[in-house]
Structure 1
Amino acid sequence: MATKKNRGKQRLQVHGALWLSMDGANVAGQGRIALLRAVAKHGSITQAAKAFGMSYKAAWDAIDTMNQRSRTPVVERVTGGRGGGSTLLTAYGQRLVERYAQVQAVHQRFLQLLEQDAMDLEQPFSMLKVLNMKTSARNQWLGEVTAVHSGAVNDEVELRLPGGQRLSAMVTRDSTGALGLKPQLPVIALVKSSAVLLAVDLETARVSAGNRLAGTVVRVTPGAVNAEVIVRTPDAAGVDGALEVVAVVPQTAVAELGLKPGAAVTALVKASDVVLAVVS
């Protein structure tokens, strides 16, 4: 039984199985693909079943299911010859085995990235980090489109972020069509840290920036001219740390606004400064 000390060192792990299907019916997974490899190696279902540690009937049933559910058969019987014939993979079956291996490698890599970079519950979730993508935008938020308001030239796209915060983006109509933006579509919102403005005491103020993300300063990293300020905003239930916002502001503003850990601030982002990306 794990002690509290040992549990503190444990990480959440991600597991997943890759299955191929046709019209909603399972065709092949790791086990069936391995059976096809055994058939290709031995040229016989009987020998493949022995090498695979299963009965002939179970092997034949699995192969027959794949043949029936695939677009074309994956295994064929070749008659004649001194040995009385053999069982071979069809050209389609060979391509299926090769493609499964390629996709399986990507699938395993994706699971590793998820486990390494997404299952630390103390850190904000970054889809770009999981996808191993790098951009110059410090703020990378995974969201979901809730509405698209069409205009003559530009469209306003409303998003819901992980903690329930709302964010608006202004994009061209061409971009809306090219990205396929519509409600419930997962998107990545990118905002440069230099485009984030910080303000205090905004209760009665009017500003042109449509996006307001109220939160608390958690870290200030001073520089020669500018300072990096990290703000965490609460989620819809008031739980802190749901969203992290990075802003770069002049060093003089740090003193003027009293920016220090624990200070309440509001991050302002213009809708036109929000860049949207989708995973194609």
Structure 2
Amino acid sequence: MTTEATDPTDQPHDPLELGGSVWFQAGTQTLGGAARIALLAAIGDTGSITSAAKAVGMSYKGAWDAIDTMNNLAGEPLVVRLTGGKGGGGTTLTPRALKLIDTFRAVEREHRRFLERAGAAIEGFANDWDLIGRIGVKTSARNQFYGKVSALTRGTVNDEVSLALPGGQTIVAVVTHESTEALGLAEGVAAFALIKASWVVLLVERDDGVPLKLSARNQLRGIVQSVKHGAVNAEVALDLEGGAVITAVVTNESVDTLGLRQGVSAVAAFKASSVILGVKD
């Protein structure tokens, strides 16, 4: 008996399912699985090798080869060919064959119950597997965000793609028509956005509440999580709503000028042209 999970990478858009099959073995030799047991059952029903082979979609020679193999491996006849007599001959099953059919069907019923229980146990595993694939991506871009395309606006040369993040923020990217087609981007498609930390500009909003006016299309508000100083630059991590974190590399002078420290509100801004989009293959 074997049971195997369907590889989600083979059909990424289909739900994960559990499958398997049952067969009998004698040592290292396979006595029979569903196909051979079905042949035996058909012989019992029809009393004819020819009719049984046709019923299970097997050639006459293939049916006899299977019967010879089963007889040999069982160590005793399972199928007996009768000749002459009032009935004009025919083919019948031995008591051993009838017992084998009943046993196989009982095992198969239990196997189906097992698959049902195991299938319920892996519910939600497809999402976990997809997450494992995403976090395994290695890039030089410090910021990696995952979301779904919420809008796609066609332009003369380039397309504007909006990616909705789980935390409610939206990242806008500008890509070529060719990239849109090659990636299969459309509303509802899952994708990830890459932004290098050096492309992110940090700002602190004015005390008077006047909105910031910038040419950068993306402006994500958050709270400074940490500031790590280097010899010249500092790495500043900003907590966004929903648990995502965006990192920027700015000069130490900028950190001092803006008063960036843990707990301070700030805005991470970057151009739509600085966003690289990707999809899971």
Same fold (TM over 0.5): yes
Report the counterpart of residue 30 of structure 2 in structure 1.
43
Per-residue CA shift, 1:42-89, capped at 9, x if unaligned?
A: 3212xx79xxxxxx79xx9xxxxxxxxxxx99xx753465864679xx
Report the counterpart of residue 261 of structure 2 in structure 1.
260
Shift of the 83–152 alpha-carbon distance from structure 1 to 2, 3 Å rule, reads closer
Following superposition, the deviation at residue 215 of structure 1 comes to 0.5
Shift of the 255–79 alpha-carbon distance from structure 1 to 2, 3 Å rule, reads closer
Following superposition, the deviation at residue 149 of structure 1 comes to 0.4
Matches within 5 A, 1:131-210: 132-201=136-205, 203-210=210-217
Following superposition, the deviation at residue 143 of structure 1 comes to 0.8
Please say if 1:271 is aligned against 2:272: yes
Please say if 1:220 is aligned against 2:220: no
2:181 and 2:69 map into 1 onto residues whose CA distance is 62
8 Å contact kept, 1:157–1:169: yes
Per-residue CA shift, 1:14-68, capped at 9, x if unaligned?
A: xxx8248xxxxx9x94542xx35958943212xx79xxxxxx79xx9xxxxxxxx
1:40 and 1:217 map into 2 onto residues whose CA distance is 66
Q: How many residue pairs get matched?
A: 196
Report the counterpart of residue 134 of structure 2 in structure 1.
128
1:260 and 1:277 map into 2 onto residues whose CA distance is 33
Which residues of structure 2 form unaligned runs of 5+? Answer: 8-14, 42-56, 75-121
Identity of aligned residues (%): 36
8 Å contact kept, 2:24–2:30: no
8 Å contact kept, 2:31–2:69: no
Report the counterpart of residue 246 of structure 2 in structure 1.
245
For the pair shown, the structure with the greater C-alpha radius of gyration is 2
Per-residue CA shift, 1:184-220, capped at 9, x if unaligned?
A: 0000100000011000115333100011100000100
1:154 and 1:40 map into 2 onto residues whose CA distance is 65
Question: TM-score normalised to the size of structure 2?
Answer: 0.60
- Aligned residue for 1:177, secondary structure, equals helix
- Aligned residue for 1:134, secondary structure, equals coil
Report the counterpart of residue 91 of structure 1 in structure 2.
none
2:27 and 2:216 map into 1 onto residues whose CA distance is 64
Per-residue CA shift, 1:105-125, capped at 9, x if unaligned?
A: xxx9xx7x959x96xxxxxxx
Q: Which amino acid aligns with 2:253?
A: T
Q: Which amino acid aligns with 1:164?
A: G
Runs of 4+ residues deviating >2 angstroms: 17-20, 28-31, 35-43, 76-87, 202-205
Which residues of structure 1 form unaligned runs of 5+? Answer: 1-16, 21-25, 50-55, 61-71, 88-107, 119-125, 236-241
8 Å contact kept, 1:168–1:210: yes
8 Å contact kept, 2:200–2:270: yes
Q: Which amino acid aligns with 1:163?
A: G
Question: TM-score normalised to the size of structure 1?
Answer: 0.60
- Aligned residue for 1:43, secondary structure, equals strand
